[in-house]
Amino acid sequence: MANGTPIGRVRGLGSAHEGAHHWLLQRFTAIGNLVLMLFLAISLALLPNYSFGTVTAWAGQTLPATALALLVVSVFWHARLGLQVLIEDYVHDAGTKFGVLALLNLATIGGGAFGLVSIARIALGGAA
């Protein structure tokens, strides 16, 4: 027999009423990372050479710049979700947990913003 109420099983919610959502987000970002990394690897493999000018020109095009931006968002989101679970499972003091989660959010938002700004500079021609 399954645990929980019948309506809880239908909705896919556990006792905390949010675990399934977090689990699904982790899986969706993993799939997004896989698809975008395959695109990145194939696109880079098809370049004629790997000089700064060639790679910058490639990254400045609309499709690769969009894919790179989506990859940055997906990777940092995926990392944040996974590390959040790690912190929640292994850091037991409430104050320390709050501080570490706050640092995690700052690091992932900061890293993602840095990556997006870098891609925007390349795409808009500011990094030449």
pTM beyond 0.75, yes or no:
yes
Instruction: State the pLDDT confidence band at 95, using cuts at 50, 70 and 90.
Output: very high
Ranges of beta strands (E only) in the chain are none
Please provide the DSSP assignment of 59-88 as one string.
HTSHHHHHHHHHHHHHHHHHHHHHHHHHHH
pLDDT tens, residue by residue, 62-92? 999 999 999 999 999 999 999 999 999 999 9
Mean pLDDT of 38-61: 95
